[in-house]
């Protein structure tokens, strides 16, 4: 979860009533100490019940544009590129599968009003260098890949990320696994980069997450992906939308 409004005291709608309450308390203490009624006792309930709420309302009416900056954007990228197919299964290329998945996720994010940036549109899939540039300034960055293994039985969904993104990584993996009827790998779908056989990945070091959408080398998992990738993309988008909105 992201906390957008981390400090309520920065808002005038909070500051003004607090200031009013503090001044009222100071006056009451002073008049008690001096045994002199600056503010007649019968007016105290009026100040608490009317003046303080009025100050709060006034604070809301005063614009504070610097405290209401728009949310960042979500960077959504596809693994490999048009010149690097990634893993292949016959004529089926990883880069093309994940490009389609990227497009589907972006469709649902934009439909929900989430600002996104991608490493290409349509069939375009730019190289990693372009994807890395998108991470800077993003609120979240995800890239999609597919695993491959010598064993045709290898299967499962995982998201590689740094420890700080563990919960989001697990949520993304669960969304994909549930949609495709697959299992979770690693720690409930999370793979700590430091424990990954792939070593240190530039995309993750820059702050992104890599979602492995299953094994292209597993015929059953590949078929499930091809048949249901729009459903999985919608589930992934839902996780990202909730994360962006702090739900």
Residue predicted with more confidence, 70 or 122: 122
Bridge partner list, 92: 89
- Pick from 73-77, 150-154, 193-197: least confident: 193-197
| Cα separation, 166 vs 146, whole angstroms | 19
The whole-number pLDDT of residue 130 equals 94
User: Count of CB atoms within 10 A of residue 191's CB?
Assistant: 22
- Pick from 5-14, 87-96, 128-137, 209-218: least confident: 5-14
Give percent above pLDDT 70 in the chain.
Answer: 71
Does residue 170 surpass a pLDDT of 70?
Answer: yes
Q: Sorting pLDDT into bands at 50, 70 and 90, what band is 236?
A: very high
List C-alpha distances in Å: 230 to 13, 107, 226.
44, 10, 9
- Within the chain, which residue ranges are assigned CATH 3.40.630.40? 73-244
| pTM more than 0.75 | no
CATH architecture of 73-244: 3-Layer(aba) Sandwich (3.40)
Name the token pair of 185. Answer: 């790998």
Mean pLDDT along residues 118-132: 96
List C-alpha distances in Å: 209 to 68, 136, 157.
27, 13, 13
| Cα separation, 127 vs 119, whole angstroms | 8
The whole-number pLDDT of residue 10 equals 59
């Amino acid at each position: 979860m992201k906390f957008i409004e981390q400090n309520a005291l920065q808002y005038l709608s909070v500051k003004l009533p607090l200031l009013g309450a503090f001044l009222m308390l100071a006056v009451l203490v002073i008049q008690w100490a001096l045994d002199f009624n600056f503010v007649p006792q019968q007016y105290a309930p009026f100040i608490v019940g009317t003046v303080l709420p009025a100050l709060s309302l006034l604070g809301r009416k005063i614009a504070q544009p610097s405290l209401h900056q728009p949310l960042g954007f979500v960077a959504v990228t596809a693994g490999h590129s048009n010149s690097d197919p990634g893993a292949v299964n016959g004529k089926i290329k990883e880069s093309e599968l994940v490009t389609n998945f990227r497009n589907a996720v972006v469709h649902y994010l934009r439909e929900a009003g989430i600002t996104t940036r991608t490493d290409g549109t349509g069939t375009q899939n730019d190289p990693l260098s372009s994807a890395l540039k998108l991470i800077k300034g993003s609120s979240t960055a995800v890239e999609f890949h597919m695993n491959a293994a010598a064993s045709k039985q290898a299967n499962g969904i995982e998201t590689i990320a740094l420890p700080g993104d563990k919960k989001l990584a697990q949520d993304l993996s669960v969304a994909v696994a549930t949609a495709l009827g697959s299992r979770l790998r690693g720690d409930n779908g999370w793979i700590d980069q430091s424990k990954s056989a792939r070593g240190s990945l530039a995309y993750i070091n820059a702050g992104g997450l890599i979602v492995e959408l299953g094994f292209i080398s597993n015929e059953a998992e590949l078929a499930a992906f091809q048949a249901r990738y729009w459903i999985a993309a919608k589930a992934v988008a839902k996780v990202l939308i909730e994360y962006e909105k702090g739900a």
